[in-house]
Amino acid sequence: MAATIRQAESVPASYPALDPAVGADVWQRIESYIAHRYSARDIEWIVEGPGEWHPPLAPATINTVEVWSCRANEWENITPDASPLGGYWLSATGPFRFTGTVGVDDADVPASVATAAQRLSEYMKAKPSTPGATSESTRAGSVETSKSRDASWMAQAMQNSGAADLLRTYRKV
């Protein structure tokens, strides 16, 4: 099986507009967690063969496929064979360069992804003295209560917000 050794993905012009509260920071976290893209951007993959290869992100449109020529010291266009499972069959070791786009502008965002984005957004906007803060203390006379949360709470936002569970089916193409 051919292996992807590098993936270079550009930043999209915009992200889906679900709710003004769901900003680019939320979409960037979601897209780093899943293999689907909901706004178009350029992509380049460097792949080593031989074997079958599928784009690891979806939806993907491949515009050019090139193989590195040591003799010419440059990339040369090729047309790889189709694989039996719908990808590309690379008969040499390469490396190969696949360029194209991933994502579709104005794509319909599934309800589960929209809900995950909303949950993650709410979790990331937690302020001190509200659930999600690192620590909070309240004193009323001689009674004091305190709450604390692990310092890695933001790193675990995808799981703790419940977004990860909703995005499980979008993890792989």
Domain locations in the chain as residue ranges = 3-170
For residue 51, what pLDDT is reported?
A: 95
- Give backbone dihedrals phi and psi of 96, rounded to 5 degrees, phi first: -115, 150
Q: How confident is the model at residue 130 (pLDDT cuts 50, 70, 90)?
A: low
Q: Which residues pair with 101 in a beta bridge?
A: 42, 61
Where would I find the H helices in the chain? 24-33, 111-124, 157-160, 163-167
Tens of pLDDT along 31-57?
A: 999 999 999 999 999 999 899 999 999
108-137: average pLDDT? 80
Residue found by looking up tokens 């302020």 in the block: 127
pLDDT at 133 over 60: no
Q: What is the mean pLDDT of the chain?
A: 89
pLDDT at 128 over 80: no
pLDDT at 76 over 90: yes
pLDDT over 70 percentage in the chain = 91
For residue 127, what pLDDT is reported?
A: 62
Where would I find the H helices in 34-168? 111-124, 157-160, 163-167
Residues 6+ apart with CB under 8 A from 71: none
Residue of higher predicted confidence among 146 and 167: 167
